[in-house]
Each structure stands twice: as structure tokens, then as C-alpha cells.
Chain A
Amino acid sequence: MPQVPSVNGAALRGPGPIDIALTVNGNAVSARVPPRRTLLDTLRESLGLTGSKRVCDEGTCGACTVIVDDRPVYSCMTLAVACEGKRVETIEGLAKDGELHPVQRAFVDADAFQCGFCTPGQIMSIVALLRATPAPSEADVRRAVAGNLCRCGAYPNIVAAGVSAGRRRK
């Protein structure tokens, strides 16, 4: 459906597919999705970035956590169209030139996952934490991932990984 410009105000877009422009992991990308499509589904289905997981799809588990403008958000409760003009970062953007990000490395070293399904979300939450708090305490890490459920119970190792990733970066 074409965009309907309003007489004097913001354009009304949709309800059919519209073209949206996003910045994901530093790259300008575009997708054609209806306004109802969440950022999570857009990442996974339109952009092939399946690292962010769909677990509850209603903002209650954290497996879809991505970073938008340096802050952690649930991508399942965010409309893709509302992210135009913002910087979106996902798990796929962390490793550079085949080098794991310090948080990713800390997760492997500390065995901070079992099935691994919550892992991308946990890692994104801690990456966001480290930007604001470069050397977090255990309590800081716990607060940062209190919104990321892990059903395998890797929590003790997740906390250890978060603290050690902070130390490593210093």
C-alpha cells in the first residue's frame, strides 16, 4: 500500500508492507515489512539475523534482547518501523574479524550457557552494561541480566562471565 501523506503532519504508513530503513550492526539496511512486524521478526525473517531468539514474544524472557542506541531493549516488544533512525546492534555484530567480543569469550571460558538459547540475549545485556559500567560487580551483572531468563540454570556462570569480561576489558 502506498504511503498516504497527511495534510499537515507525519505520514501515515501501512497497514500493508512498507519500506523501512535501519542501521543494524553499523550497516544501513532496508526491509519491506508491515508496521505490525516487530524488530525481532524483522531481524530474523527479513534480515537473516537469527541469533536473537523468540522465546516468549511478549517481553517476559529477554532472549530477544538487542541494543538500540546503546541501551538494551526487547526486540519482540519493539516495532521495526519505530527503529528507523536508530542504531540497532545484535549478537551477530559483536565478533570482529573472527575475534570474539570479550563478553562472548568470557561466556565460553566460564561455561555460561548450556542449551545456549538465552545466550545471545544475556550477552547483549552484559555488553550494554559494560558500556555504562566498565568494571561491574556481581550485583551489577545480576541487575543487568535479571530480565534474561535462563531455563538451564547457567546463572552462576553468567554472572562470573560478566564480571570477568569487565576485568578483561580494563
Chain B
Amino acid sequence: MPRVVKSREEFEGEVYESLVLVEGRDLPLLDGGERTEIGHERRRVDGTARVTGRARYTQDVYLPAMLFVRVLRSPYPRARVRRIDTKKAEALAGVRGVLHRFNAPKAAFRGEDTIFREEVRFVGDEVAAVAADDEDTAAEALRLIEVDYELLPHVVDLEEAIGDVAPRLETDGNVAEASTHKRGDVRKAMKEADAVVEATYRTSTQIHNSLETHGAVASWDGEVLTVFESTQHVFGVRQGLKMALKLPFSKIRVVCDYMGGGFGSKGGVGKYSIIASLFAMELGRPARCILTRDEENLAAGNRSATLQQIRIAGKGREITAIEHTSWANVGQGKWVANPTGPTNTLYDVANVSSKSYKVVTNAGALSAFRAPGYVEGTFALECAVDELAERLGIDPIALRRKHAGSPKDPLSGKRYSDKHLLECYRIGAEEIGWRRRRNGGMRGSAPHRHRGLGMATQIWGGGGGPPAYATVHLNPDGTVVLTAGTQDIGTGTRTVLAQICADELGVDLADVHVRIGDTENPYGPISAGSVTLASVGPAVRIAARDAREQLLGAAAGVLETPAGELRIDGGVVVSKGARTPLSEILGKVENNTVIGKGARHPNDPELSQRTFGAHFAEVEVDLRTGEITVEHIVAVHDIGRIVNPLTARSQVEGGVLQALGFALTEERFVDRATGRVMNGNLENYKVPTVKDVPTKITVKFVDRPDRRANNLGVKGLGEPPIIPTAAAIANAVANATGARIRHAPLTRARVLDALAVAEARS
């Protein structure tokens, strides 16, 4: 009988308490001995599908008689849609339907009851949609729709929106307090400090630019709506569709077989999913609404630009107080990621005061972007810590060590389930050659090129939690089907779950077939917040154990041997002196299927599950052209047990490279006068190329199971590697040049400006 217990889970910096259905007992921690699969490098189980072009992404779903949908988007940052004339568009051959605010059914979306708003609030806001026989026709039809807009005053820039003269977009103003934290007596500590650094940091808007744009293909058979969607959460999309379309869950199926990246932005239903569904249901033909690259950059989310003020005080060799105020441009978003999260929790500092403000503007809404808030906040905090270390005249690592070793979360007062941050510092310092670091930097490859070293720390969640389920069933031929409601967003979920299943069950990895990405499967959580492995993995292990025990029972019957004398190894049942392939045993019982099931058990509510890490950077800066070359990044992470070192390393490298874009090149530009995004494309929104990759990236893991986290001792890795890179690079640049650049990305213009300032000062 299932019972209900309280659980406490962290998700993207926030802690949630929930009720969890639990059945049976959790397994004890996986023992530390050598395993057959867990802890070993394994190629991705879906590798062949991905390298042959056979993997089916949402974009690749073409259904018979499918309609192509294109969306007309507001060219203005703020306007009232007074009238829409679609006559010409509807007259175009091949156009099958047009939806807009005057004819679309009501559909709930993010707290509103329509997807086509009367007042459009950013360039890219949905105004109308056309379904046609082919995409060119749908695109041509958009040009024929006449819209009468009444223009309204707008503001797109963060600092302008905060100011007094900006138009007020909400009745209570553009700025709203989102969260605060206070501990100790900051004012007193500042007064008594030896040194106080006060600085303003800025981070620009970063756009996900997942290579597969957001999109959905919807099909309605009169009974069930099936939506193929590129998503990090099939169940989240189902929930959104239920709200919008008022259909019961039983009539909605959401499928995400493969997806081309999400990085946080594909967490739930989109207007495109609803629009495709409405057309499919109304016109009785499948409908496909997949965003173009431009649309992706306007309306599919972004990492908020921030303005952050930090005052940090030190006395002797310690940090005594931090005051951190952040304003984030959330565009038309309804929430704000919290840049002060790291300030509140990373260091055990007695006096902390932080405030985080949400600022609305007439720009596309934010969405979660890989460690939302923490990437922005860590840039400011970890630069400030270095600035303080310099003022106090002590080594930046020495200063951090004083505050990084605490076994307790300073925010909640709870003990960490596990923590090896000081070990990360030790490994990283060794790998980068920190001993070489000198104030004023080192000589580079030419007299006008200087080298420097820098580092920064990360804290994140990733402990995961319930609910998450898996089933394992055995085919008569001994092959295994593992089913779960999670999805693989490119992190290697299929592979690590297959490893856990094969390891626990005692079968070959090649015999495990993983079925995920479908709401017909048992529930799985959103693939975000670095929770997937730590949530689903333990459930898979329980399901595999359950299947194994049943199997042993079956084998005992077939072999007429007590189950206690049997074990399963490499797909073979081993008894005293005999080896019987699983297929032989299962063949005897034929279609009497062994089905194991597993559910994630709750976390210990008295503990705080966190991941820790540190990145180190060595850079070379051309003092005359402002060009930064990253020579070496060392990434060290404490994330519990590593299931697959190969895919784990890839994930860290990927995080480092996405962070490199945030640190050096990626920045959205919006024209203030027109509200138009000037670089909503991959030409001028500059994601790193292969040539931007640092000369060397060293990835290290502490690789000790977190004994109190879950039955595998694993934690997440999706977000940690993007968090500390930018600050490590900025600190290295400051070390190399003496110039402190407080605005990410560190473009040539900013580097040259800072160098000029530093030169004028010296």
C-alpha cells in the first residue's frame, strides 16, 4: 500500500515541500565496489540513430495532409490591435485557416485567457496565425494580413525601465521586489571592515538558440490529440494543453522522441503548441507550427540582462559582509530568476543582505536558461570576491577557503548531504598551475600579450526528488524494455538510465531498450534544474531490482533451485555449476511477463542536497586589440557518483563552452527606439564556434557517492558547469591586465575601454 510522506526538493535555487506517494522501501546506497556498468565510460545507446540522421526530432515529423502554420508577430514593442483584415490572406490559394484575437477560441496561457492579446507587448508577440498547404504559402499569407495597430509608449532597456521617465507597463510600476534575504548586521560589519569594495556589474541578455527551434506538430483523430513537441517536459506540455484546450489528460498525448537542445527554454507548453492544436482540431488535418530562427530569438525566451550592485567587506583575511542588489530585465516574463541565490548560499559569511528585483519591459519574456540567475549572479559575486581579495592583499583562493568549507547551508541552516568544495579548489589549483599566478599577471606569447589566471566557485542544486517512475519489463528473448516518462535533451539520459538498469539487472547494456519522451509512460519530471539523473535514476534502479527479484523467482521455479542460490550476470542466470541464459528461462514462461516497477523515494528533509564546483581559467589578452584568448579551463565538480564519465565530461565541456559565449561574445541587441531585436539570428548573435574553444579544457570530478542523497549517490550535472566560467575568465583577465571588466560579455570594446581606464589610472 502506498503511503504519503513529506519531501523537500530544491529546484533551480528554490526549495519546495511536497507530498509524495511512497511504496515499499528505498534501496540502500549502491555499494562502492566495482560495478559492471555504473562508473564506466559507455558510448551513447542512441548514438547510431543520431549519426545516421535516423533520430526523429519534432522538426522531422511530417504527417500525411499536414498543414504548415506560420505566425504573424507584432512589429511594434507595444500596441493595441484594433482591427485585423484577413480577406486577402484567406483568398490566397492553399490557405486553410487564419486565427487571431477576434476569432480564436479562449485558451488559457500563462495566466491569461488568450494567445492573441489585444495589447501586444513586445516585437514578436503573436498577432495571428495562418495554416496553409505549404510553408511558403503560409509565409506569403502573413504578408497579406492587414493589421490596424494603435501604438503605445514602450521601454525595452533595463536601466531605462527602472528610471522615472519610462512608461509604466504595470499599474504598480515596472519594478517589483522578488526576493530578499538578510542575516547578521551588514551595516555594522561594513563600518568595521578593513576594506569595502563597491561595484556595479552588468550581464547582457543571452539567448538560448537551441539548434532545434521551439515547435509542435499536432494531430487530432477526433478522439485523442497527439502532439509531437520539442520539449524538456512532455508532462508539462500535456498540463498546458489541458489548461488551454480543456481536454482531459486521457485525450492528450505528448511525444518527444529526440530534441535538438532546450537549455531550459522548453519547459512547458508554448503558444505554437496551442496554435497547432487548435488548427488540427478545427481543420481535421495535422498541423505543424515550428518557429523560424528569427521567431526563436524574439519569442522563445532568454536569460535576463541584469544590473547588480555589490558591496563586499573584508577584515583581516575574511569576508565579513556582502550586500547584493539585483535588477533583472524579464521582458514580458511573469517571474524572475534570482541572481542573489549564490550570494545567499555559496559562502558562510555572517552578514548578508540581498534584494532581487524583477523589471518588466517591452521585450520577449525570459525563460529558464541553464542555471537561471546563478550564471548572472555568480559573475557579479565572484568578480567582487576577487576584487576584495586584491584589496585585502590576499590570494583569491585563500579568501574563499575561509568561507567555502562549511558543512551547513547558511541560508536554511540545514546540513549538506555531502560537500567537497575545498577538494575542488585543491584539484583545480593543481591542474591549472595556480602557483604561477602573480599579481600583475604573466608574460604572454608577445610583449603586448599578457597572461593571467582566475577562478570562481559554483553552487547549485541537482539533488532531484520524487515523483519519478520507471518500469522494466523483460521480453521472452531476454531483452529488456525500460520505460520512463523523462526525456533526453542531449544529456545522455537514455544512456545512463540504460546503464543503471543493465547494472542492477545483470544484463548487457545492448539488451536494454529505453523508451522515454511520451506521456503514455509513467510520470517523469522536467529535464531541467539538473534533476533528471538524481530523480529518475534511483527509480530505474528500484524497478530493475524488482524485475531481478521476480526473475530470480521465475528462474528458481524453472531451474528447480532455491532463488538464494542464483544470481544474474551478463544476461545469464548463474547457479552452482550451471549457467542458463535469461532467454532460456524466459522462453519457458513465454508471455508471462516480468514487470518491475520503481518510484523515487523522498529526500531526507533535514538535509540540503547541493552540487559544488570550481572553474579555473588561464587567458591571454592582446592589450592592443582587446582580444581575449582562453588558453585553459579547468573544471572540477563535486556531483556525487559519476555514472558515465564519458558523457559527464562532454556535458561539462558543453557547459564551459556555453558559458564562454556568455562571457565573451553572446549579447542580444535591441533597438531602443523601435524595440526591434537587431541580432535575432546566428550571424550577429554570436555563439562560440569550434575555433573559440579554449586550447585545453580539463574536466575533473571528485566522484564520491553522496551517501545521503539517494540510492545511487548521484546528483545532477546539467547546470553546474555553466555557472562559474564567466567569472573565472573575468578574474583571469583582470589578473592579466590589471583592468577589471564588470560587464559580461567581455567584448573587445569593453576590454579596450577598461584597458584605457586602467592605463589612465596607473
Q: Which residues from chain A sit less than 8 Å from chain B, CB to CB?
A: 34, 36-37, 41, 44-45, 48-58, 60-61, 63, 90-92, 94-95, 100, 104, 107-109, 111, 113-120, 123, 142, 145-146, 148-159
Contact = CB atoms under 8 A, between A and B. Distances in A.
B53 A117 contact: no
24 contacts: A49-B53, A50-B56, A50-B59, A55-B293, A55-B682, A58-B681, A107-B51, A108-B44, A108-B47, A108-B48, A113-B47, A113-B51, A114-B651, A115-B489, A115-B490, A117-B57, A119-B51, A123-B51, A146-B691, A151-B211, A151-B687, A153-B654, A153-B656, A159-B693
Contacts of B653: 153-157
B62 A90 contact: no
Interface string B663-686: 000000000000000000111000
B260 interface: yes
A113 B50 contact: yes
B211 A115 contact: yes
B43 A108 contact: yes
B650 A60 contact: no
B693 A53 contact: no
A90 B493 CA distance: 28
Contacts of B475: none
Contact of B654 (A54, A107, A114, A142): A114
A117 B261 contact: yes
A63 B691 contact: no
A95 B52 CA distance: 7
A146 B491 contact: no
B658 interface: yes
Nearest to B134: A45
B59 A54 contact: yes
Contacts of B656: 153
A53 B212 contact: yes
B384 interface: no
B62 A117 contact: no
- Shortest 10 CB-CB contacts between residues of A and residues of B: A51-B53, A117-B260, A153-B657, A115-B490, A153-B654, A116-B50, A108-B47, A50-B60, A114-B490, A91-B53
Nearest to B263: A151
Contacts of A123: 51
A127 B48 CA distance: 17
Interface in B270-302: 292-293
B494 to A, nearest CB: 11
Given A61-B211, A113-B51, A115-B261, 17 more contacts: A34-B136, A36-B136, A37-B136, A50-B62, A52-B53, A91-B52, A104-B52, A108-B43, A109-B43, A114-B654, A116-B46, A116-B55, A120-B51, A150-B211, A152-B261, A152-B654, A154-B654
Contact of A159 (B52, B683, B690): B690
Contacts, number: 160
Interface in B222-264: 258-261, 263
Nearest to B53: A51
Contact of A57 (B47, B292, B689): B292
B646 interface: yes
User: By CB atoms of chain B within 10 A, which of A41, A117, A150 has the most?
Assistant: A117
Contacts of A142: 690-691
Contact of B647 (A52, A111, A119): A111
User: By CB atoms of chain A within 10 A, which of B46, B646, B693 has the most?
Assistant: B693
Given A51-B54, A108-B44, A153 B681 contact: no
Given A56-B681, A60-B682, A114-B650, A92 B53 contact: yes
Contacts of A157: 650, 653
Chain A contact residues: helix, strand, loop or mixed: loop
B642 to A, nearest CB: 14
B209 A151 contact: yes
Given A91-B52, A114-B654, A151-B209, A60 B681 contact: yes
A58 B293 contact: yes
Interface string B51-78: 1111111011010000000000000000
Given A34-B136, A50-B60, A149 B490 contact: no
A91 B52 CA distance: 6
Nearest to A91: B53
A159 B527 CA distance: 28
B697 interface: yes
User: By CB atoms of chain A within 10 A, which of B60, B62, B697 has the most?
Assistant: B60
Contacts of B136: 34, 36-37
B674 to A, nearest CB: 21
Given A91-B52, A108-B44, A114 B681 contact: no
Nearest to B692: A155
A123 B259 CA distance: 18
B681 A151 contact: no
A104 B51 CA distance: 6
B59 A153 contact: no
Nearest to B68: A45
B650 A100 contact: no
A92 B44 contact: no
B85 to A, nearest CB: 26
Nearest to B650: A111
B492 interface: yes
A51 B52 contact: yes
B682 A117 contact: no
Nearest to B290: A54
Nearest to A63: B211
B658 A151 contact: yes
B689 A149 contact: yes
B211 A53 contact: yes
A155 B263 CA distance: 17
Contacts of B52: 51, 91-92, 94-95, 100, 104
Given A54-B59, A115-B259, A60 B209 contact: no
